[in-house]
């Protein structure tokens, strides 16, 4: 199978190495008074109300599945997701592999009142600050592609920038690393990022190992209400759903149907 992750991370690290901007100068551009929507609070609130929160994803394509909806309007899709009851948005900003952009994130955030996660491959401090500057409320940190030093540093920088960090893991070793650095929102991705294949048992097996004080999010491979029910029973407060919703002919209803399970 293609080593998607290796290719993607190599491209992002090369881009970071070639980026000549200085971190201190970029941080000066961050407006500390610019409003930030609380990603974690939105999940906690809606999980308490409905039994599960839905993080609805906006992405145009993926390396494994090809085109999903290349012509989608992020503002319209965000509005549809919010109308269906989504708690947060996840917006792909990777250009080369997922067809996303910072403009997609900005448009999606303008189209709703939901907190927005910048879904991308964060490998440098500049990526974190860029997320804040483009209007994100949360940033993704993937344990599999970061050293412990990088993970600790980027998590601290995210908090300095008033961003929630969704720290993504794929197995028990990565989960232990995320807990050790103090992550308070942890996503268990059921998709193997090397092959992009989905293991539907992964989140179920790891759910009980996530500490009670941590907000637990199950990512990838959610195909319908039954999956949501199983993940809620396993202790998750939120599911991150992309392909199912993007491909749906009625995105508002698709979100509502997922939420109906825990209502």
Active site residue 57: yes
The answer to whether residue 3 scores a pLDDT higher than 70 is no
Q: For 230-237, what is the mean pLDDT?
A: 95
pLDDT cut 90: percent of the chain above it: 86
Backbone angles phi, psi at 44, to 5 degrees: -60, -45
Task: Report which of 181, 193, 26 is spatially closest to residue 98, judged by C-alpha positions.
Answer: 193
User: Whole-angstrom Cα distance, residue 37 to residue 54?
Assistant: 16
Tell me what the pLDDT averaged over the chain comes to.
Answer: 93
Report pLDDT for 263. 37
Report pLDDT for 98. 95
Beta strands in 148-237 (DSSP E): 164-169, 185-189, 215-219
The answer to whether residue 262 scores a pLDDT higher than 60 is no
User: Whole-angstrom Cα distance, residue 124 to residue 8?
Assistant: 14
Catalytic residue among 87, 90, 119, 124: 119
pLDDT digits (tens, 9 = 90+) for 138-173: 999 999 999 999 999 999 999 999 999 999 999 999
User: Whole-angstrom Cα distance, residue 66 to residue 64?
Assistant: 6
Active site residue 80: no
The answer to whether residue 36 scores a pLDDT higher than 90 is yes
| pTM of the model as a whole | 0.94
Active site residue 180: no
The answer to whether residue 231 scores a pLDDT higher than 50 is yes
Report pLDDT for 116. 98
Report pLDDT for 1. 36
Catalytic residue among 56, 57, 62, 174: 57
- Comparing 67-71, 124-128, 238-242, the range with the smallest average pLDDT is 67-71
Catalytic residue among 220, 223, 243, 257: 220
Catalytic residue among 59, 82, 87, 90: 59
**Which numeric CATH code is attached to 4-29+37-260?**
3.20.20.70
The answer to whether 69 and 247 have CB atoms below 8 angstroms apart is yes
The answer to whether residue 261 scores a pLDDT higher than 70 is no
Within 10 angstroms of residue 211's Cβ, the number of other Cβ atoms is 11
The answer to whether 129 and 30 have CB atoms below 8 angstroms apart is yes
The answer to whether 207 and 238 have CB atoms below 8 angstroms apart is no
Report pLDDT for 185. 98
The answer to whether residue 34 scores a pLDDT higher than 70 is yes
Q: For 192-221, what is the mean pLDDT?
A: 89
Active site residue 113: no
pLDDT cut 70: percent of the chain above it: 97
Of residues 116 and 197, the one with the higher pLDDT is 116
Q: For 194-205, what is the mean pLDDT?
A: 83
Backbone angles phi, psi at 117, to 5 degrees: -90, 130
The answer to whether residue 54 scores a pLDDT higher than 50 is yes
Catalytic residue among 80, 82, 168, 174: 168
**Greatest pairwise CA separation for the chain in angstroms:** 50
Active site residue 59: yes
Backbone angles phi, psi at 116, to 5 degrees: -125, 125
> What SS3 class is residue 181?
coil
The answer to whether residue 14 scores a pLDDT higher than 70 is yes
Confidence band for 128, pLDDT divided at 50, 70 and 90: very high
Task: Report which of 240, 62, 224 is spatially closest to residue 167, judged by C-alpha positions.
Answer: 240
Burial class (CB in 10 A: 0-12, 13-18, 19+), 233: exposed
């Amino acid at each position: 199978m293609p080593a998607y992750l290796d290719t993607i991370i190599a491209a992002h690290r090369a881009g970071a190495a070639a980026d000549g901007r200085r971190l201190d100068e970029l941080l000066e551009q961050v407006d500390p008074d610019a409003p930030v929507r609380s990603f974690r609070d939105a999940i906690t609130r809606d999980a308490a109300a409905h039994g599960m929160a839905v993080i609805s994803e906006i992405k145009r394509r993926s390396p494994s599945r090809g085109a999903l909806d290349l012509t989608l309007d992020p503002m319209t899709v965000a509005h549809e997701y919010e109308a269906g009851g989504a708690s947060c948005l996840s917006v792909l900003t990777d250009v080369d592999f997922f067809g996303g952009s910072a403009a997609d994130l900005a448009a999606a955030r303008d189209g709703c009142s939901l907190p927005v996660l910048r879904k991308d491959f964060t490998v440098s401090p500049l990526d974190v600050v860029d997320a804040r500057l483009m209007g994100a409320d949360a940033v993704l940190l993937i344990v599999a592609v970061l050293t412990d030093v990088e993970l600790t540093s980027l998590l601290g920088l995210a908090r300095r920038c008033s961003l929630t960090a969704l720290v993504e893991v794929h197995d028990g070793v990565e989960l232990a690393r995320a807990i050790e650095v103090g992550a308070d929102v942890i996503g268990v991705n059921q998709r193997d990022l090397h092959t992009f294949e989905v293991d539907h048992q992964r989140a179920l097996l790891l759910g009980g190992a996530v500490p009670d004080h941590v907000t637990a999010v199950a990512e990838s491979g959610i195909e319908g209400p039954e999956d949501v029910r199983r993940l809620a029973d396993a202790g998750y407060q939120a599911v991150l759903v992309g392909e199912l919703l993007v491909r749906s002919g009625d995105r508002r209803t698709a979100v509502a149907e997922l939420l109906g399970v825990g209502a």
